Amino acid sequence: MIGPGTGVRVYLACGPTDMRKGITGLAALAQDVLRQKPASGAVFAFRGRRGDRLKLLYWDGQGFCLYYKVLERGRFPWPAVADGAVRLTSAQLAMLWEGIDWRRPDWGAPPARVS
């Protein structure tokens, strides 16, 4: 994904978001609901009611970038909290964007030692 690098602050809007909202509407949610400055350089993640759509809003210093992804199958993993925000790391954001459950990544068992 082209966009913010490592170390960026990431906020998930926990409740479902109307995916018809564009940059202006999502920036208003970031400010009013998440209580963050939309142009702060943080990434704001919003998921639709069905769970298969994800929008990321990001200020790159020159303007807003809006990333939109629709999964063909499955749903984006999301916290069960009805409202508020959850903070993620940039690594967790990368997992979320790929549809990986960032809450419980399966790194696999270490290889068995052969003596």
Residues 19-32 have pLDDT tens digits of: 999 999 999 999 99
Residue 54 parent element (H or E): strand 53-59
State mean pLDDT over 90-106: 82
What's residue 66's pLDDT? Answer: 96
Residue 112 — pLDDT band, cuts 50, 70, 90? low
Higher pLDDT, 4 or 35: 35
Q: Are 31 and 37 in contact (CB under 8 A)?
A: yes
pLDDT at 69 over 70: yes
Nearest CA among 61, 101, 82, 112 for reference residue 14: 82
What's residue 113's pLDDT? Answer: 66
What's residue 50's pLDDT? Answer: 92
